[in-house]
A and B are shown apart, each in its own frame.
Chain A
């Protein structure tokens, strides 16, 4: 079957035997075959005379973690389609299997919604900074044929400034005393219109994106605006939330989670949603992103029975001078206090390339080969050699991966 979509339970295992006169690649599912083909392509090397060779090999391979993702942020900077597709290629070369598409945020709303065209009409940077339905379909299909899931993230109730431009009354008006200031805060959790909108919006998202999961965000909600708004304060009283705005946040999230599950989608959320004690369905995936003591958070999340993915140590947008790939490489996701069952709940992780300082001019060298280092721990010297070779390989394949250290590739990057 080549027509389906990859999902969290897909088998990516493969068996590769290279002998004379034929090499054989066996896999349970086409996704495993893709991984095996990638390995095979990396085993082929060229000798000094230009002949292509493969060594006799016997390989039995399968991923340790089922969720191996890259987060791209197309709101802080728009990323042209070509750049996204190029990176899907690079992801496939590195056996990444999830594109976490953080498509909208405060700064811009490039997603062209069919039900709510005003969202991008008013919220995108410009008409040229938009993903049409055809663009989105192209990304999904391009990813699918590389065995990559596309999990869209529509982050609410915070990180939503750009939504307010095209959807009046969606965001909370902030107040100074009795007067609205003219600025807006997170999504307004007290209005029925909010939930009517979200119901319709997520209906569209559920049908446009075929993956079983949607990422609903839920991170970094600033309560100041809610606290300033008299109607919100009134609502807090009525609901008996006191002054605990985390309860209001959970109230909102709850309703969104229910909306999304009514469309038979699973959801992923940032860790705050769990931390603030919203009622989550058992198949919720919690994404741990906060840097301090993420091991402790993994314990808590899995201890409560939820599936977790780890992003915290892999914020690749945090550049620094030197060979920082080493610290990404050294991360051991299961190094946290917990039972065997708990450890099984960590299904993988994601390297995040937030877009404040990234766009198509520097995305590829910033992401690769640093993202390649989210790999298994063996030894650093061996890893250095393999990473450097892999980097040269990516250059040959047209991926402008930056150098690991001093040196050269036989085939340097072309213009």
Chain B
């Protein structure tokens, strides 16, 4: 019997960025003890324990004598799923959370809405999904769906970080919220198409305030990801009211200033609701005045190189997350897990204080070419390389050794019913669909 001892009792709360996930595991003849400060550490230890148990040819379960003291290198170890480019049925999300737990991932970054579709059923603005989902009946997440995800995640020590990306990436918001998006112009008349959220109207900020109030009560985590990436200025530039506003505000021709004006107000709204913000790197790059505890999410591989960006962000005093080299949706032929594994997030010039500001990172599975038919094999075991990079000590980087362990882990995943794809030629005792 495995004895589990948790110093700080309590299983009813939610994990947070500050949760302690350390644990100790002692296995010897006659005694097996797992001890941790918190239940979150116990969960990590239980996962390790489950991976240490083997089965011999006679069907007997066994475990080697072992002494383990373990704790994560980075506190934020996330996986991003995109449910806008393609809807993902609930079971796909829940299964992904299971496998995240096997890999000790602890943040589910839910990029829930974007240009193509708005599957989130908002209680304040039900028209958003009614008009914006691919199909309002079959391709949405109800309040109870969301609660299921939150609880399924919580029980695995996984934080759910929702992202409502604005002012760009928001075309699907338009149909259900008339007047929210900027009408583009062709000369003097509206062209009929729309662009990013309209930053010059008071109604915009009332809307956004109400929506984020709702989001902040639905999602218990302290942090909200508010996006802020890839804003295309073409539509703003074409709109005469916006041009007038630019003049009024003295922004000249610099639309980055308009973008920053919007983001600033949004960040203020979010902090007035008592939440912390995570933003994509453009917000920092564009010189927006953000609060010192705003987390900057580095996603661009170059211009500047991501290590340089991490250095800049942390030197300016901000905490950072790294995703740039971990866009798992960017598939290529061969063992691309190796490149992900060899990333060293702290390989930049900086003080120890700076390095401490790198909170971790996230593997991203953007959804342009991904849905439930190929999500699991595309995620696993490749994401496992990122998981280890974020949990284990920086010295754990031998590729040969990692290959053997990851290949073995992949077979274990198959045994647990996960449709994880192969790393290279070979076999598992029990194949998928065998």
Q: Knowing A82-B433, A128-B434 touch, does A357 contact B421 (C-beta < 8 A)?
A: yes
Q: What residues of chain A lie closer than 8 Å to B24, measured between beta carbons?
A: none
Q: How does the 8 Å CB contact mask read for B376-396 relative to A, with 1 for contact and 0 for none?
A: 111000000000000000000
The residue in chain A whose Cβ has the minimal distance to the Cβ of B368 is A406
Contact indicator A403/B425 (Cβ below 8 Å): no
**Cβ-based interface call for B432 (8 A):** yes
A362 to B372, CA, bound (A): 12
Q: What residues of chain B lie closer than 8 Å to A319, measured between beta carbons?
A: 331-333
A401 to B373, CA, bound (A): 6
Say which size band chain B's interface belongs to: 35 or more
* A402 → chain B closest CB, angstroms: 4
Q: What residues of chain A lie closer than 8 Å to B44, measured between beta carbons?
A: none
**Cβ-based interface call for A50 (8 A):** no
**Cβ-based interface call for B116 (8 A):** yes
A360 touches which of B134, B369, B431 (Cβ 8 Å): B431
Contact indicator A77/B422 (Cβ below 8 Å): yes
Q: What residues of chain A lie closer than 8 Å to B85, measured between beta carbons?
A: 406
A78 touches which of B370, B378, B427 (Cβ 8 Å): B427
Q: What residues of chain B lie closer than 8 Å to A80, measured between beta carbons?
A: 431-434
Q: Knowing A80-B431, A80-B434, A405-B368 touch, does A355 contact B420 (C-beta < 8 A)?
A: no
- Which of A41-49, A200-208, A407-415 forms contacts with chain B? A407-415
**Cβ-based interface call for A400 (8 A):** yes
Interface residues of B in 51-85 (CB under 8 A from A): 85
Count how many pairs of residues, one from A and one from B, have CB atoms less than 8 Å apart in the complex.
Answer: 125
Contact indicator B434/A413 (Cβ below 8 Å): no
Q: What residues of chain A lie closer than 8 Å to B154, measured between beta carbons?
A: none
A361 to B370, CA, bound (A): 15
**Cβ-based interface call for A214 (8 A):** no
A415 to B420, CA, bound (A): 15
Q: What residues of chain A lie closer than 8 Å to B426, measured between beta carbons?
A: 77, 107, 125
Say which size band chain A's interface belongs to: 35 or more
A126 touches which of B86, B331, B421, B429 (Cβ 8 Å): B429
Contact indicator A402/B374 (Cβ below 8 Å): yes
Contact indicator A321/B332 (Cβ below 8 Å): yes
Q: What residues of chain B lie closer than 8 Å to A403, measured between beta carbons?
A: 86, 369-371, 373-374
B329 touches which of A321, A402, A408 (Cβ 8 Å): A321
Contact indicator B432/A320 (Cβ below 8 Å): no
A364 to B134, CA, bound (A): 25
Q: Knowing A80-B433, A126-B427, A361-B422 touch, does A408 contact B374 (C-beta < 8 A)?
A: no
Q: What residues of chain B lie closer than 8 Å to A355, measured between beta carbons?
A: 425
Q: What residues of chain A lie closer than 8 Å to B138, measured between beta carbons?
A: 410, 412
* B390 → chain A closest CB, angstroms: 23
**Cβ-based interface call for B419 (8 A):** yes
Contact indicator B422/A359 (Cβ below 8 Å): yes
Contact indicator A356/B371 (Cβ below 8 Å): no
The residue in chain A whose Cβ has the minimal distance to the Cβ of B91 is A415
Contact indicator A361/B374 (Cβ below 8 Å): no
The residue in chain B whose Cβ has the minimal distance to the Cβ of A106 is B425
Q: Knowing A321-B329, A321-B331, A322-B369 touch, does A408 contact B135 (C-beta < 8 A)?
A: yes
Interface residues of A (CB under 8 A from B): 76-78, 80, 82-83, 107-108, 125-126, 128-129, 317-323, 355-362, 364-366, 395, 400-403, 405-408, 410, 412-413, 415
Sort A-B residue pairs by CB-CB distance and give the 6 closest, nearest first. A365-B374, A362-B377, A125-B427, A408-B134, A362-B421, A400-B373
Known: A77-B425, A321-B369. 16 other contacts (CB 8 A): A128-B429, A129-B427, A317-B333, A320-B332, A320-B333, A321-B332, A357-B334, A361-B422, A362-B419, A362-B421, A366-B374, A403-B86, A406-B86, A408-B134, A413-B371, A413-B373
